[in-house]
Each structure stands twice: as C-alpha cells, then as structure tokens.
A and B are shown apart, each in its own frame.
Chain A
C-alpha cells in the first residue's frame, strides 16, 4: 500500500512547492482558481526546483532524506505564502467566468478546452493503468538513471565509492542528478527501491506538460489553437512512449520547452516574472542532461541576440542566465573536485584541427537527426508545422521577434547536437543508432513551443482577436 500511494504524496508535495515558487515569482494570480489552473506548471516547477535545491544541499554535505525534502517543500510553500500576503492585490477575476454560465452560452473556445481536457484525461487514464504494472526495461533507464537513484535511496550522501569511483566510470558519472534525485524521492517514499512503481510517476509529466503550456500561453493563444495542437502533442508516440521508458531525455526537453516559451513571452513584451520562470526551467533542463545545458545556452544566447537587436535591455536576461549558472554550479563543482570527466572532449571540440580531422562524422549526424525529427510515425509532423508557423510569422510580421527567437533557437540547438556527435569519441554509427531517436526530443519540443505560441499569434491576427497583449511586434 505504501509503495503504491506514498510516492504520489511526493508528487503532490512537488506540485505544492512549485505553486509556492510560482506565486513567489508572480507567475500565478493569487486566486484559488488560478492555483488550480496552474497545477500542471506547478508540478513541473516543483520537479525543477526541489531536486536542484537537494543537489546543492547534498554537495555541501546535508543528507538526502525525506526530512530534507520536506524542509525544501516547506520553504517553497512558505515563500509563496509570504508573497501571497505581502504583494499588492492581483486584478479581480472576470465577473462571471464561462464555467459559471450555462453551457448553452459557452464560447467555442470553452467547448474546445473541455473536449481537450476530456480526451487528455481519458488517454492519461489508459496510460496510467498501463504504467502501474510496467517494469523498467530500457537499458539506460535502469543502468544509468535508476542505478543512481538506487544509490541515492540506499545512501544519504554522494557516496564517492559510486559517484566518483573508477569501478563505476561507465555510468556517466558527470551526468547531472536531477532525474535520479526525483526518482529517489519516490523510492524513498515507497520504502524501498521498487522499479515497477516508477514509470507511473514519469507518466504524470504527460498531462502536466500540456496543462503547463496551455496555462503559460493562456493570454496569448486561444484554446481553439492550443487545444488541437497540444492534443496532438500528447498523442505523439515520440512523447508518450519515451515517458514510459524512464529515460531522462523527455523530461529535459519538457523543461527546455517551458523555458523557451517563457523566453518567448518575455521577448514579446513580458516581464521579469517570465524570465524568472525561464531561469527555473532552463536550470532544470541543464540539471537533467548535458544536452539540456546545451539547449539552455542556445535559448539564452539567441534570446540575448534577439533582445539586443530589438533594443531591449539584456540586463534582466543576464541575471536569468546567471541564476541558471548558479543553480547548476554545485554539481559541476562536485564533479570537478572529484576529477570526474565527461565523454565529450568539449575544449578539443573547439579546435579547428580536431574538427577537420573528424569532418566525416558531420553528414551522418545531420542525416540521422533529420531522419529522426521527420519520422511521422514518431513525431506527427510537429517540426514541419512549427517551421510553417515561424515562416508565416516572419513573412507577415506577426510576432516576428518571437519567430526569430524560435527559429534561431532551433538552429543553434540542432547545430549543438550535430557538434556533440562530431566531437564524440564513440563510433558514430553506434552512437547515432543508440541515441538519435531520443536526443532529438528537445528539438521537437522547442518546435512545439514555437508552433503553439506563433499559431496563436497568427490566428489572433486573422480574427483581429485581442487577448491580454497585442501579438504584433514587428
């Protein structure tokens, strides 16, 4: 009973911690109905912030236990409660929101939102009933991620005999610990390392991420647009199949996507609160996988270039980038202090002679990445549709700044992936065959961010629909 139920208590606490952080940074209006609407984003924010805090605590020697987890959650909730009482009142809600009216008077957007919620809930329920009995089968899922979580369940500290030992050098000791910490929290709550009780919690990412995107873009994109697009995302095998594999690529891509949307909102006239959320999500992406760090750097660099070219102050963005760096620094310091090196020769990867010597690796990598992102059975045309939305925005001037940001981010992130294959010491065919399917997730999900955000702006231009902010910023 405990193994089945208590880990869901961890999820609930993560959601509460995340809501506390969202209230503290001003990303959620202080109304109970708004807190409920932000629950998906709250869960992902908690899953981002709490492991980052626990990693920092572990590095300075504070034991990893359920008590320290509770203390971090308490601190996050306390921060939110303090902000709730301190900040000036938020604007009141609409006088009579649609859900309090008779269904006969509901607008079409309301019907789309209801249909979307019903279909996602039904799909989620089917997936959850499957996840309840699924074993952890995928190789890296148990050999890398769950193995580290297993150690963090059996030991309260970063045991150097494992995390820094030559005997375990093949477990990618440099990989960040966001997912192992998140998994270990569930194992500890369950009372032991029981892998059959794990994938059901990965499955929670599915409703959480579509819910989070809809919430984040609620003032810019109508349900008529986000409903079908996010439903397609939820139904896309490349997304839901990965969630049931226990790999870290998709959680990382989800964090990066939410970071991209937050940066896109900031570029289209948003405020510091979007930057704060972007920093949280990008820190989590960088704390999940090394490819996440690359995506975070790409998104922040492109956002800075776009902001600068449009005359926006980049000081707040620099602060956000600094916050990302500070958040991931503890683990980097720990690995550096213990002489742990990653697979990729990053510094040599900047040497033109080294790169020229390995030029024959570039085209296979480009080809494999292109093949993977265009696999319709896996990604359901999400990336080509995103490119269409970007092209229409660029041609029309509708949300052009945001379109440039998404296009640049996709290009730089894709170049980063090619570069990582280029400099990798592993045989290229083997490396591509064992990883390309997964690592392209971050490209597709940044594309999904662009697709939803820009399609909303385009439809608003078509219907002259005005939501909270003007979409046109050309």
Chain B
C-alpha cells in the first residue's frame, strides 16, 4: 500500500537525521529534535511548486468561467448535466413562490436502475426540485416514474418533464405547454 511506503520513507528520513545529529554530538531529546528539520525542509521544497501549480489551475478555472453571468452560473450545473433548465425556469415563473408542485418524469427504455430508482430520473428530480425551490414539492416519491393514481393531486401544480399530461392517472386542470413533453397543469386539489 502506498501509505506504508510513505510512512516508512518518512520514518527512515527521521532516523537518518537522528543518526547524523548524534554523530554531530547532540544527545537525547536534542538529537530527536533535529527531526523537525525534515518536515520543514520537505514543506519548503514542495510548497512553492505546489503554489505555482495551484496558481496555474486557478487561472485556468477563471478563464473557463470568464464572462459567465450570474443567471448562467445559477443553472450551469443542470445545463451541463443535460437537464431542461429552460423549462424549469419557465415553470418557476408560472408557479407562485408560496405554491406547491409535484414533478412527474417520463421513463426511458434504457433507464439504469439503482435500488429501484432510475438514475436519470432521480437526477432530474433532484435538479428540478432545486431549480423550483423555494417552492415546495409534495407527495414526491424518489421513484418519480411510478405514478400512483392520485399521486400529486394535493399539490397546487403538476410539472410534467418528458411526460405527456394525458398519461397522468387523474383529473388535471388546463395544461400550459412549454414544449412537447414539457408542461405544467393545475392539479385536482389545487388551492
């Protein structure tokens, strides 16, 4: 294991320093005290190159994000992951901050399942609920695809992501469509 090698190397360096210190006439605690030279020297040797490498990395990061506006930065993580951040932004404009929502996400044939939860669906769910906050989600199972009849009817709004509103197993109000498969609708028990 790499850790063992590093520990042996450090202890060996210390032992050599103690031996040299004893040869130089230092005894007892003073000879062991010379071991402090090892970390100080190692730190001095490593710190400056690391600072320089860190500076380069930081400047590259800065160049990557140059010109990124606050609004773009706000949804960059979701956009990079391929989520429809434009749809969620539009939905947030329709739903009042004190209103609740329920998110329905369509299934795809090759959905990867971990612990009965679709990885893609789970990720969209997390992002969607983040972008729609501080609005609260209700009756939101992590298994976003397993829509039970009536699930979400106590939310003020139903949010359909890659999901046809007509497939929702329950009564819904007028549908506001953003794009095919992306829509919102008032739920049965909306306030």
Number of A residues with CB within 8 Å of any CB on chain B: 81
Q: Are B40 and A228 in contact (CB under 8 A)?
A: yes
| Residue-wise interface mask of B (57-84) relative to A, using a CB-CB cutoff of 8 A (1 in contact, 0 not) | 1110110011010101110110010000
Chain A residues whose C-beta falls within 8 Å of the C-beta of B141 in the assembled complex: 166-167
* B6 at interface, CB cutoff 8 A: yes
Q: Are B29 and A461 in contact (CB under 8 A)?
A: yes
Interface residues of B in 26-71 (CB under 8 A from A): 26, 28-40, 42-44, 46-48, 50-51, 53-55, 57-59, 61-62, 65-66, 68, 70
B121 to chain A, nearest CB (A): 12
* A398 at interface, CB cutoff 8 A: yes
Question: Which among B54, B66, B129 has the highest number of chain A CB atoms within 10 Å?
Answer: B54
Q: Are B46 and A135 in contact (CB under 8 A)?
A: no
Q: Are A133 and B62 in contact (CB under 8 A)?
A: yes
B184 to chain A, nearest CB (A): 17
Closest to A244 in B: B61
Interface residues of A in 215-272 (CB under 8 A from B): 224-225, 228-229, 231-232, 234-237, 240, 244
Stretch at the interface among A101-109, A152-160, A276-284, A346-354: A152-160
- CA of A10 to CA of B50, assembled, Å: 31
Closest to A239 in B: B54
* B1 at interface, CB cutoff 8 A: yes
* A196 at interface, CB cutoff 8 A: yes
Q: Are B134 and A381 in contact (CB under 8 A)?
A: no
Stretch at the interface among B9-17, B105-113, B160-168, B175-183: B9-17
Q: Are B47 and A154 in contact (CB under 8 A)?
A: no
Q: Are A389 and B140 in contact (CB under 8 A)?
A: no
Q: Are A388 and B13 in contact (CB under 8 A)?
A: yes
Chain A residues whose C-beta falls within 8 Å of the C-beta of B54 in the assembled complex: 123, 126-127, 235, 237, 240
Number of A-B contacts defined by CB within 8 Å: 220
- Known A151-B134, A195-B74, A231-B43; contact A170-B9, beta-carbon cutoff 8 A: no
Stretch at the interface among A28-36, A74-82, A305-313, A368-376: A368-376
Interface residues of A in 123-155 (CB under 8 A from B): 123, 126-127, 129-130, 133-139, 142-143, 147, 150-151, 153-155
- CA of A197 to CA of B68, assembled, Å: 12
| Residue-wise interface mask of B (111-150) relative to A, using a CB-CB cutoff of 8 A (1 in contact, 0 not) | 0000000000010001101100110111111100000000
- Known A129-B62, A370-B3, A387-B11; contact A235-B29, beta-carbon cutoff 8 A: no
- CA of A143 to CA of B44, assembled, Å: 39
Interface residues of A in 188-211 (CB under 8 A from B): 193-197
B132 to chain A, nearest CB (A): 10
Q: Are A392 and B32 in contact (CB under 8 A)?
A: yes
Q: Are A371 and B10 in contact (CB under 8 A)?
A: no
Closest to B26 in A: A462
- Of B9, B38, B47, B139, which contacts A232 at CB under 8 A? B47
B143 to chain A, nearest CB (A): 11
Q: Are A392 and B35 in contact (CB under 8 A)?
A: yes
Q: Are A395 and B32 in contact (CB under 8 A)?
A: yes
- Of B32, B37, B44, B50, which contacts A396 at CB under 8 A? B32
Q: Are A458 and B32 in contact (CB under 8 A)?
A: yes
* A385 at interface, CB cutoff 8 A: yes
Q: Are B42 and A385 in contact (CB under 8 A)?
A: yes
- CA of A129 to CA of B13, assembled, Å: 39
- CA of A448 to CA of B14, assembled, Å: 17
11 inter-chain pairs at a CB distance below 8 angstroms, sorted by A residue, are: A3-B70, A123-B51, A123-B55, A147-B130, A166-B141, A170-B122, A228-B39, A231-B47, A458-B36, A461-B33, A462-B34
Given contacts A225-B40, A392-B18, 4 further A-B contacts (CB under 8 A): A161-B100, A170-B126, A374-B2, A398-B32
Give the interface of A toward B (CB within 8 A): 3, 119, 123, 126-127, 129-130, 133-139, 142-143, 147, 150-151, 153-155, 159, 161-162, 165-170, 193-197, 224-225, 228-229, 231-232, 234-237, 240, 244, 367, 370-371, 373-376, 380-381, 383-385, 387-389, 391-393, 395-398, 451, 455-456, 458-464, 472
